[in-house]
Every structure is written in structure tokens, then in C-alpha cells.
A and B are shown apart, each in its own frame.
Chain A
Amino acid sequence: MKNSRHLLAWAIPATLLLLIGLGWTMLNVTRYAQWVSRHEAREATLDRLRALEQAAQKDKAALHAFEALTQTQPPALQPYIQSLLPSVRVEVRRRDTVPATGDWRAQRMEAQLDGVLGDDLGRLLVRLEKARPPWRLVECTLQASDQTADAINATLILEGLERK
């Protein structure tokens, strides 16, 4: 009798534990498929975020290139053009300023050049673009000059990035 009670005292928790173990296993087996799909969905999210990160890094590389420059402002337009084209009448006006990422801003300038030769204008624009930071041509209007043959009057809209 004592043995039977002792055995029963073991058998009941053992059976319960086995049933719990089996039930738990069944539950985990049925949940496993859901877990795998959740896991795969998160992996896919991670992959898409990594793709976005790569694209963002590519974009930020442009900013880093500017930040690596020792000069924080493009050359002053009026004296720069004047030094390159001393015979041309130059008038420079500020158009607008647009804030850019960080402490940078994009500055648009309008440069009016009267009586400039086509080749000189080309060279000037190339030099401006090679300056660091560069001046980039956004828009231009050319009119044949009434004063001199082959000369033109040019209105240039240039954009340069400068650090505040």
C-alpha cells in the first residue's frame, strides 16, 4: 500500500510533466511555421533597410565630398570673373539662398556679362565649375551683342554651396 502510494506520488507528476512536455512541443511545432514567417518578414525588412542605407550612403557621399573641402565658400564671383575677363563688363546680383543639409546653403547668383566672346564664356564656366566649392551653371540666356561682332551678352544663373 505504501509502495503504491509512493508510486502514485511519482506517476501523477511524471504523467503531468510528460503531458505538459508533449503539449508544449505540439504548441511549439504549430507555432514554428508562424515564427519562421515572422522571422523571414523581419529579414526582408532588414534587407530593405540595408538597401535604403546604401542609397542614403551614396547620397551622403556627395555631402561628405563637400565637407572634405578646405574652402567653405566658392570664390567671390565678381572679382573672380573680372580677373579672368578684365575687358568684360560684369555685374553680379544675389538671387536667392536655399538651406541645404547641415550648415550648408545653396546660393544662387545672377551674373550679367556684356560683350563676352563665346569661347571666353565657355572657358569661364569651366573654370567656375572647377573651383572648390564650385559654381554650377543652372540657367543661361545669351543675346548677340549690338556693340561688337561675335560678342554676346550673357545672363548666367549660377549656384554654389557654402557653409554658414
Chain B
Amino acid sequence: MNRVSITEGPSLKTAYGLDLSERFATVVRVRKRRGSWRSETILSVQDPSPTSLLKAASDVTAEASLGRAALCAAMPAQESTIRRLTAPLPSLSKARKVWPSLLDIQLPFPLETCAYGFLDERKTADGATTLAVLARKEDLSARVATCASFKMDPHVLDHEGLALWSQSQREAPINNGQRLVIYLGMDRSVWVIGDSTGWQGGHASKRGRHALNEASAVTDWRDRTLRLVRAHRSEDSTPLDLYWCGPGAEDSVLCAQLESALSSLGPIRAQTHSDPDPFLARAVAVRALLPDPCPWNYRDHYEPHPLMLQWRDKGRRALAYTALSAGLVLCLLNTGFQHWAEARDLNQRAAISALAREVSGLPHVERGQEELLVQRALEEQAEGLAPFLAAFRPSLTEELVALLRATKQSGLTIDSLSMRPDQIILQGAADDWDRSELLATRLRERDWRVTLDRQDAIADELVRFRLTAGGPS
């Protein structure tokens, strides 16, 4: 599930939360710090006088009007509705098309007169489900007008039940089982029930701490609670977690009395949220600043606050600038890379061409043919250079001198000698059978392949021989 904050866009670090009713007023300042928050109560009064509210408002609105803080309030739960809708459709996109119709038929008034939205859309085994949140536009206008009468124009108008559930989970994360959060106000009560999967149901009543002094009011209060809990209570035997919050939650005697009234629900683990008095004000402010699975602001759907629009525009503009900058950087990097690569290509080609021209001596060498043309040119040059190279190779003179010396030392006589770089043919005579063999051995030592033919001595008693040698191997 996407978790976004209501004030998505501006990187706000401060939000003011308001909990305004006829018998009670609270203003808190919440500052965001590294994913967490710190809350500070600015005003908390019972039966507030317009003067005290106007003074608090002037402090709050000064910062909020500069766009440095969000001013957040909630629509009273009895003036807003939240329903779980399910549609037997396998596709969320198809379900989205039928949510308004499904919601419309459940309402006693036309949907067109409401500001509404759908949260927590997800697929289930039976199809698709969502939380429909709505309030009548006239109630929203009245709420905005009430705030305006105290010189306050909230940027965020949250849903009370969602804000209470969200903040309760933030301050005391739910593990398993069900939780009932009860906001006990001075002149109203709000119930929210849910489990680890999320919000299950809610209810609101105009009976608050003041009204609950009467026994009949307590009975009514108890019956409403039982109806809500029984409608959503799962059949497991885990005790119900009950969390108290709101200005009435500080009256521990009243809370104990109400808990005992709920004894028919079975075992209950009752606790009170810390600093319960400004809980709702804190809840709406925190939800505005921190990411939340079900962010909601009625003002997005009805008379959006101009500053919110500006913040959103600012956020989107920042996104557009980031995309523009990233695009520019990428384009510049790619241009740079291409220039660099092309320059290297050109340098390489120029080096190859220059070297090929230098080695081959050709004025122009076609690209891609450099190696072939150079090889051909060198083959042609080799023919002209052959006599020069030959001058530096071991000469035939050396062989001839060695041969003449050897024949003299061996006492051989030469009749004829024909000598080429690759062949020696020597005919001669020796006074001994083995002397010509000595010459052949010497030639073999110089890597010639020697064949020696000898004839037996006849009248002159000389051994005639013919020595044939192939070029040094």
C-alpha cells in the first residue's frame, strides 16, 4: 500500500492540529523530526472564549499563512461517513468505476451533494474492497465557516475516525486481536474499531463527558458501543483492546464506569493513550506531516485551500525541474560520451592511416584496407631491398674459404667444384678412403646435407669421390 502524507509535495516540518468544539478547544504544534514527531500543546481550554481562540489563532495563522506550517482540523465524525464497500469484480480498475454507484445507493442523500473519495482499495478473495469517505458539502462549508470565525482557515480537513485510528496505531502499534479506540470528548464520543489489517468500523455520538453524568446517557452510550463492537467482533477469544483518548479520557472514574458498563463484551484490556487531551489535534497534525496508508483531506475534494494547491504545484514543479535537470544531465553526459568516443575513433583512424602511409610510402591509404595495402607495399619493397638484405646475410665466401681450407688440411685434391648458396658439388681425389669422409663431416657440422660417393682406387691408387651437398638445413 502506498504511504503518502496529506501534505505531499512541500517538505513541511511543522503542522498545527485543531480540535474545536463548542465545549472544548485544543491547538497543538507538531514538528517532524527524522521520521518521528514532537508535539506541543499551545492551547487547551474548556468552554473556550472567542478571545482566547482568536489569540491562539493569530499565532498559528501567522506561520501557516507564510506557507511554513500546515493547519489541520478534522470533520466531526457525526458529520462525515466512512463505509467499507466491496464489489465482486476481479479488477480494481473495473471496481473503481462502480464505487460511486455502490456508495450512492447506500446514502439517504444524493452523492452529488457530497465530497467523497475511496481509500485503501485492494483485491480480496471475493473481489475488490475500498473505504469510502464522504461528507456533505454543506457540512464541510459549515465546518470551514466555523474555523473561519476564529480566523483560521485549515489546509487539511481530515476524517476524525481515520485520524484517531491512525494515531492510535502510531502511538501503540497493534499486534493481534481487535482494538477499540474511543475518543471521549466534552460534547461527543467517537468509536473506531479495527484490527491489524486496518479500520473496520466507526460510530459517533453527541454524548460526551458532560452528558454521561446521567444514567440514561450511559446506557445509550453503552448500547451504541455494544452494537458497533458486536457488528465487527471476531469470534476468537482474545480480549478486546480498548484505548481511551480525548479530553474526557482524563476522567479515570468515568472511564472505569464506562468499562464496567461494557462487561458483557467479555474480557477487555483498557488503556489510555498518553496525553489524551489533545489526542485528536495531535492525530490530524501528525497525519498531515508523516506518510500514512490512508491519507485523507476533504479540502482536496471540496474548496481546496489555495496554499495547498500552491504547495502541490511547488512539489510538482520541483519534480518537473528534477526531471528537466536529470534529462539535461543525461543528454549532456551522452553528448560528452559521444564526442569523446568519436574523438577516440578519429584519433585511432588517423593514427592507423598515418602509420599505414608512413610504412607503405603510399600517398593515400583507403580506410579499412590499411593492413592489406601495407603488406602489399612491403612485399613490393622487399624485392628492391633483397640485394641489400643479402649483403648482410652469411656469404658464400665464408663457405668457400672454409671448404678450400678443409680440402687442403685433409690432403684432398679438387678436380672441380661448383658452389651456389644452396648446393655444392665437389669432385676430387684422396689418397685414403676415409679422407673425403672427413670433409663430409665438416660440411655436415655446418648444417649441409651431404652425400658422398667414393670409388675404389685404381691405377693411380687414389680414391675418387663425388660430394654433393644440399643447402644448410
Give Cα A10 to B325, complex, Å: 12
Give Cα A62 to B387, complex, Å: 9
Report yes or no: B414 in contact with A100, Cβ–Cβ below 8 A.
no
Interchain nearest-CB distance for B341 vs A (Å):
6
- Smallest Cβ-Cβ distance to B351: which chain A residue: A46
Question: Could you say which of B313, B327, B420 has the most chain A C-beta atoms within 10 Å of its C-beta?
Answer: B327
Give Cα A98 to B385, complex, Å: 11
Give Cα A138 to B420, complex, Å: 7
Report yes or no: A21 in contact with B331, Cβ–Cβ below 8 A.
yes
Report yes or no: A139 in contact with B420, Cβ–Cβ below 8 A.
yes
Report yes or no: B321 in contact with A45, Cβ–Cβ below 8 A.
no
Report yes or no: B401 in contact with A161, Cβ–Cβ below 8 A.
no
Residues of B within 8 A of A100 (CB): 384-388
Report yes or no: A143 in contact with B321, Cβ–Cβ below 8 A.
no
Residues of B within 8 A of A46 (CB): 348, 351-352, 355
Q: A3-B313, A56-B359, A62-B388 are in contact. Are A136 and B395 (CB under 8 A)?
A: yes
Interchain nearest-CB distance for A19 vs B (Å):
8
- Smallest Cβ-Cβ distance to B310: which chain A residue: A3
A63 near B: Cβ within 8 Å? Answer: yes
- Chain B interface, DSSP helix/strand/loop, else mixed: helix
Residues of A within 8 A of B416 (CB): 141-144
Question: What is the 8 Å Cβ interface bit string for chain B, positions 258-299, against chain A (1 contact, 0 not)?
Answer: 000000000000000000000000000000000000000000
Report yes or no: B415 in contact with A144, Cβ–Cβ below 8 A.
yes
Report yes or no: A10 in contact with B374, Cβ–Cβ below 8 A.
no
Report yes or no: A63 in contact with B388, Cβ–Cβ below 8 A.
yes
A118 near B: Cβ within 8 Å? Answer: yes
Interchain nearest-CB distance for A125 vs B (Å):
4
Report yes or no: A11 in contact with B320, Cβ–Cβ below 8 A.
yes
CB < 8 Å neighbour of A39 from B330, B348, B390: B348
A152 near B: Cβ within 8 Å? Answer: yes
Report yes or no: A25 in contact with B334, Cβ–Cβ below 8 A.
yes
- Smallest Cβ-Cβ distance to B386: which chain A residue: A100
A159 near B: Cβ within 8 Å? Answer: yes
Within 8 A of A (CB), among B321-336: 321, 323-324, 326-331, 333-334
Give Cα A63 to B419, complex, Å: 27
Give Cα A28 to B370, complex, Å: 28
Residues of A within 8 A of B333 (CB): 25
A122 near B: Cβ within 8 Å? Answer: yes
Give Cα A7 to B60, complex, Å: 30
A70 near B: Cβ within 8 Å? Answer: no
Question: What is the 8 Å Cβ interface bit string for chain A, positions 20-38, against chain B (1 contact, 0 not)?
Answer: 1110110010000001001
A14 near B: Cβ within 8 Å? Answer: yes
- Smallest Cβ-Cβ distance to A150: which chain B residue: B413
Give Cα A137 to B393, complex, Å: 12
Within 8 A of A (CB), among B439-461: none
* Additional pairs, 20, CB under 8 Å, beyond known A125-B401, A136-B395, A140-B417: A7-B313, A7-B317, A11-B323, A14-B323, A21-B330, A24-B330, A25-B334, A42-B349, A45-B371, A49-B374, A53-B355, A59-B382, A62-B388, A100-B384, A100-B385, A136-B397, A137-B396, A141-B417, A143-B415, A159-B390
Report, nearest first, the 3 A-B pairs whose CB atoms are least far apart.
Answer: A21-B330, A17-B327, A101-B384
Binding site for A on B (CB under 8 A): 309-310, 313, 316-317, 319-321, 323-324, 326-331, 333-334, 337-338, 341, 344-345, 348-349, 351-352, 355-356, 358-359, 370-371, 374-375, 378, 381-382, 384-392, 395-397, 400-401, 404-405, 407-408, 413-421
Binding site for B on A (CB under 8 A): 3-4, 7, 10-11, 13-22, 24-25, 28, 35, 38-39, 42-43, 45-46, 48-50, 52-53, 55-56, 59-60, 62-63, 65-66, 98-102, 104, 106, 118-119, 121-122, 125-126, 128-129, 134, 136-144, 152, 159, 161
